[in-house]
Structure 1
Amino acid sequence: MNFTFNNPVNILFGSGKINLVGEECKKFGKNALIVTGANSTKKSGLLQKVQDLLAKENITSFVADNIPQNPTTDAVMLAAKLARENNCDMVIGLGGGSSLDAAKAIAFMAKHEGHVSEYILAKRTTNGTCLPVIAVPTTCGTGSEADCFAVLNDTATNDKRTLRQMITLPQVSIVDPDLMRSMPESVLRSVMFDAFCHNLEGYISRHASPVSEMFSLKGVELFAENMPKLLNDLNDKAAWDAICLASTFGGFSLQSAGCIAVHGIEHPVSGLRNVIHGKGLAAVIIPVLEQTIACCPKRFAVLSKILGGNNENDFLDQVEKIRNMLGLNDRLQDLGVLEHDLPWLAKNALEVSKTLLSNHPLSYTEQEILAMYKKAF
């Protein structure tokens, strides 16, 4: 029993908490960069609402709305330039995980020279400074509001890599379940599976601790109990609250224990073919985990029972049931992956997802990873 747990993010959780965004942001200065996607927060009116709440506190806001569903290093560099040019005192991530991850990297690069890829690849070292990050998630899946990670697609190489800097951990995260309701149901299904994976993987990780396990198991429990309720009734407020909390717990689990090979095998897929992350996870999860059960059966038995099964032997059946309930039955070829991509994916996973693979209870060769991709194809 040897671990550390450090997660000082201030979580403001609950319906209506968005109304505190101006009050919270005024603690950090007078100029804010809002990082968001191109459409959803505009169509829902949320972007304008946040700008109005900031204006009431005499905070001037600027908008970087160039963030794609898999955020890129190019988008980060452009927005960081905008933050510097406008003397921004803070960065607000407003949207899904892509906006939140991008906001962290933008806040970091607003205070650093060079290119973000140089810090991801450890070619440069941090100077220890970062603009404050305020996270306002609008999807209940990534847990990015509770961790310091910024997952980015390198525009030059298609590599999907992570900027890992504790200084990018949000100062404040406003988790308001009411903001999630504008999600299309297809997006909801995908992000819920991502949240499920974060909690599951955190529990299986080599770096799981007694503290992270509490978050992971409670997150899986909240998901298992409330995902069917939410799919049955999108007006079930209690179910919305529970799923949002499961997502945030997944972020705490990620920050402490990290994800494993499920995310490690998926990242090259969405990096190369711009696949929706949750769909990619659903496509690879069973081939990745089927060999893992034998090395830690007690943990898979615990997870299976939470999901409605009996023991480790029917864990994969429970996962398949979840995939069916969420309608996430696509194979990699259905998601745009080509057969000749598979060797590249295997090689890329071994190199780019090294940290995630090292968290996994088993070690894999390139050929074993290629076999997983073939099964998922």
Structure 2
Amino acid sequence: MSEKNNKDYIQEKLKEKHFEAKIVRRIVFTVFVLLMLALTGIIGGGYFYIKNALQPVNEEDTKTEKVEIPIGSSPTSIGRILEENGIINNGKVFRYYVKFKNESGFMAGEYELSPSMNLDEIIGFLKEGKVQQEVLFQITIPEGRQLEQIAVILENRMGLSEKEFLEKANDKDFLEKMREKYPKVITDEMFDEDVKYALEGYLFPATYPFYVENPTAEEVIDIMLQKTDEILQYDEVRIGMGNMDLTPHELLTMASLIEAEATVQTDRDYISSVFYNRLDVGMPLQTDPTVLYALGEHKERTLYEHLEVDSPYNTYKNQGLPPGPIANAGLTSIQAALKPAETEYYYFLATPDGEVLFNETLEEHNIDKNEHITSQDNG
């Protein structure tokens, strides 16, 4: 092949490659454009879908509808009820919107709602309890009460049988039903064989309004578990559990010990620090309320003979946390369990006048005990 023909051949090949590259670029560009258009369509469609779901059903329709929100309804069930009654466009979007805005504390009752209302207005009504029917009565469950004490309160205040309440609180089938509704509250730890009452410490202390004359034990427990679930969803609690590496069961157990030992608000984070310091070095927690819980009776003083009770709840004989909570803890005790004070204290002592003394050493603790407590008492 002559030199001229060789050059022509090479130029021809280069032209072919250039043409092929141009075709490939066009194909890639076309595919890219089509993908972008498809993606834009998906995003745009999703945007308009969500935007439509967030809008009122009909801004012109101000006629109200009676909507019944049962006791213990979750955001999912509330969204479904509102959609079925034509108050909102989409129940699922309502649930995600509530979760995104971290809204909670919805109240049961019969509401007058309109399709012209937006989601924020509806949420406001549900949180403020702007219901058509009035509250028939309220029950206050104080902090630090045990399940058996709560049963007595309910029987005295609303006529709910103490026996019926405790039976329902220990009904495995019912608790499994509640697990489906409150999976972050009802966990396997509650069903450990050493746990005395699965729901001990899980019925949050608060004032509960009731809109029906004779609520069942199931309805009462449901609304209390809903409140506990709400508390556990608080950002400070949820994030705090992660930081402290605590399960809800462990958190409520620790908080119940703090609640049982605290005499004033300011002591709780210091008492919490003592418990965590003991856990860190493998010391038994040695807290008297767990002994009384193991004995199953109230006593004015805990004596040395009581410390011998054979029970997994006896923190004088067993290291670590007891199998479960020993009472219901309020929010301040839960906060203290999540944010203990930074101390070197390993001992504390409640004096007869209500003061709590903290010490770093057993020697200092014994000096305070001899000064403030008789020989029959324990610190």
| TM-score over 0.5 for the pair | no
* Greater Cα radius of gyration, structure 1 or 2: 2
Q: Which has the higher helix share?
A: 1
- The higher-RCO structure (CA 8 Å, 6+ apart) is 1
| TM-score, scaled to structure 2 | 0.28
